[in-house]
Structure formats: structure tokens, C-alpha cells
Structure 1
Amino acid sequence: YQTSINAPRQKTQAIVKQAAAKAGIELELKSVTASVFFSSDAANPDIYARFSTDLQMYTTTQASPDPQTFMEQFASWEVAAKDNKYQGRNITRWRNEEYDKLFRAAETELDPAKRAALFIKMNDMVVQNVVVIPVIFRNKVQAVSSRLRGHEISGWDNDTANLFNWFKV
């Protein structure tokens, strides 16, 4: 069970290992330096994109209110593999023809309600097939000086996305 080295991840590994032991499952924990784990060095077996262990923990987030880019990481054409130097976004290597068809339909669906229904169905497939198991959610706190103007706080972008609009009063 591998992940990168940071305190919350090692704590989570320990909790999962203890729970697995109660179920009679023995887990070997592996902690990899973050610069190696998140590296793009295809020759290194410890990069998260190779997913060379039975279990792996990493963070993936939806950066946009629109789910298309996020959900594409589960499409078959995005599988991370040796032939693409593990650059595909589908690190779990899950393949499902029905999911792929739903994704292609969502790409061209113009009716927002129908498109949302397609993504909900895709999300249900990912959950029901245990492609990923959401383990932890990290809250994010943002604060802004009362003298700063032009800053927009958004759950969908980084803190400095509109830095060019900032000014002090």
C-alpha cells in the first residue's frame, strides 16, 4: 500500500492497515518521497502513474465546476501504460466500454440536464466498480486582507488565479 511521504497520508495508511488486519488482510506499507512518487520518470517503479502496488493513495481533485475533464481520467483511452510512458490520466487502468460510450455522449450533449445525468451515471459506475475509494477530504481555508481588492475566492481555482486584478486600498 503505497503513497507519498506526508503526515496525513502515513496516518491514513496506519488506519487502513489496522482495519485490514481486523479483516485478516496483511498490508505492507510503502512511503515514497513525493518528488519520486509524483515524478514522470517512466523507468521508476515507484511513480504513482505506474500503480505497481495493490493499493495506492494520492489526491485527485475536480478543478472546474464542469465534470468533463475530471471524469475523463476514467476513460479507457486515458490508461497510463508503458507504451505512453505512464502519461495517461487513468492511473487505475480501469476499462469499461459502457463508461466510454457515456463519456463520448456527454462530450456532445447540449442539454445540461441530460449531460448532468450522463455524468451522474458515469460517477455511479466508478463508485459501484470500486475504481477509487474516497478516503480523505482536505478542507481549504482562504483569508484575504480587508485592504485587498480584486481578489475572488473560488473553490474551483487556485488562490492566485486572478492575481493580475489585485490591488491595495
Structure 2
Amino acid sequence: MSATEQVQDLVPADVHERIMAEAEAISALGEASESMAPYPVNQPTIGTWLDAMGYDNERFRNGEAPPSMAQVWTMPGLGRRRPDDDPLSRMMEVLTAEGFTAVLGTNCEQTYERYLRVGEHVRVTSALESVAGPKATAMGIGYFVTSRNTWYVGDEKVATMLFRVLKFIPKERP
């Protein structure tokens, strides 16, 4: 069976072609979305995070942020939205429009270049890294969508994250 026939068994060819064309267009934009953290890195937020995680380290009580907090500074939070040009959101909208309505987070890979320091103002850029599929999974037929976020202080890259989700059509339950 050819690859084209296998795709058609899972998803109609015209649907697959539309999805992949949109993915290519979004990917071509590169770091298409940028957001500034609403607040600089600050000790009260670091302390609250340490308390919530049940973790204590004197280093993080005295002016440095745990590396795994990189995302915390730029998360939209309540009442704010991702930018309209956010590549992950745009790809999710494409898949939803094609009937892939369910989402399952699959994995996240983070790389830290250095610790953030109190007072620094962080910005994040987002890009669509890849779209793979269709794939038949235990959850249903879908596409794996990987985005790449890169955090900066000024022009210095301080952290990156690859975030992969499965956007799928749920299997019917008996």
C-alpha cells in the first residue's frame, strides 16, 4: 500500500493536503509571534512558585529564578490572550475546522541557557516546528503538532521549549 493510500485510509486526501499546506505556510513565518512578559522577573512570584512546588533553594530566594519557571513569566493567564499570530493557536484552528476537535498534550522538551535574574524583562517568540500525520493512535486519528517557544532577555536567548500535542478525532466509544 502506498503512502497516499495509507493517508486516504485515515483522512481524505483533500483534507490532508489542506492541513499540510496551512502547516507549511505557518511554519514559513518562523518566529512569527512575540509576547512581552507583563511583569519583570520578581522575587514574590519566585517565592510563590517555590512554595507551590514544595521546593526550597536559597539560590532562588535571593535573586535568581528556577530555570523551569521560564514559561511562567509569559503565560497569558486570566484575562489575557495569546497573540493573534500565535502559530500553535493558528494550527489548532486549522485542525479544528477540519474536524480534529480533541487535544491531548504529549510531551515538552525544555532547554535552559541560563538562570533568569530578578528585574529582567522576558519576551517569548513562537514558531510552528512541525506537523506530522495523520497518525492512528489509541485516542483516535490525528496530527502531532510541535511548536517551539524561545525566551529572550533583550537579544539573548535564555530558554527554549518544544511543545507537542496530538489534535485528533476521538474514537467512538461503544
Structure 1 and Structure 2 fold alike (TM over 0.5): no
TM-score bracket, shorter-length normalisation: under 0.3
Structure holding more helix per residue: 1
Structure holding more strand per residue: 2
TM-score (norm 1): 0.23
TM-score (norm 2): 0.23
Question: Comparing both chains, which one has the higher relative contact order based on Cα–Cα distances under 8 Å and sequence gaps of 6 or more?
Answer: 2
